[in-house]
Amino acid sequence: MSETDLHQDKIVIGEAVSLSLAPASLVRRIFSAIFDALVLLTIVFVLLMPSIELLVRANADLISLKIVGRIFLISAFLIIPALVETFTKGRSLGKYLFSLQVIRDDGGVIGPRHAFVRAFLWIIEGWLSIGSIAVLSSMLVTRGKRLGDIAAGTYVVYLPALKRAKLNELSPEIEQWRITSSYRPLPPSLVEQGYQFLAFENKLTTGNSNEQAIRLANAMLTYFSPSPPALPPVEMVKALLATNAKNQEEAKKRSSAQMDKVLDKVTSLSYSND
């Protein structure tokens, strides 16, 4: 499977999970917005004030001061928030703190267009109106949408803390395969997707669950050779996660044992020299 295919799996799996999440409460969104606003104002104060002071000391004219000020303001209130939401797939410091995420109306991951539309309209409904327009809109519109969400086709969801599914012991057949197979450790992001899928798997339809499990298992199988004995899709995901966990645990034990041997040799040499 190519890197592009794997990226597509991530998106599809993320969408399948996101669709089962409820819109975030207005209270959580307000506290998240306040936290983000404080962070942003701190950044502006820390960076803008020294820059203006340097320009004043350099005898910069008024036009230069205005240009620098506008660049800072546009960056702080539009570009930075949009880039943060884009690269974190709908998160921010405040959203991380209050377990929130912005997703598309169809449950998918947001892109640059969604993030910039939301950031642009937040200047009006958030900053200029001190949040009153955003609060009013969130109270009246379905899914608690503010104007930026309506224009961008997004809404904010609450991400409950996920409890990792308890993985069963490997069957003798799978254990034998694990011992004889070659492998590379699964990427942490792929492991997290697996646990996230298992946490929400019972909320998906059987067909959708199997479809997502197949995509996820196919992404994981590229890290093992040869392929394991056939299993149902969901059971395959569980088996591969358990195999990866056991492989990692054994690798840590081997590394620890080797380190102990090295320390013993160093200690014995130091004593012999004495």
Q: Where do the structural domains in the chain lie, given as residue ranges?
A: 22-158, 172-267
> In the chain, what are the helix, strand and coil shares in percent, each to the nearest 5?
70, 5, 25
User: Each residue's pLDDT tens digit in the chain (274 positions)?
Assistant: 333 333 333 333 444 344 446 789 999 999 999 999 999 888 888 877 777 777 777 776 777 777 877 888 888 899 999 999 998 888 899 998 998 989 888 766 788 999 999 999 999 999 999 999 999 999 999 899 999 999 999 999 887 655 566 777 889 999 999 999 998 888 776 787 888 888 777 777 777 788 889 999 999 999 999 999 999 999 999 999 999 999 988 888 887 777 767 666 656 655 555 5
Please give the pLDDT value at position 120: 96
End-to-end Cα separation, the chain, in angstroms: 58
**One-letter identity of residue 24:** A
Please give the pLDDT value at position 268: 64
Element (H, E) at 123: none
Residue 142, token pair as written in the block: 């379905």
Task: Please count the other Cβ atoms lying within 10 Å of the Cβ belonging to residue 241.
Answer: 22
Q: What is the pTM of this model?
A: 0.57
**One-letter identity of residue 118:** R
199 close to 16: Cβ distance less than 8 angstroms: no
Please give the pLDDT value at position 265: 67
Please give the pLDDT value at position 161: 58
SS3 121: helix
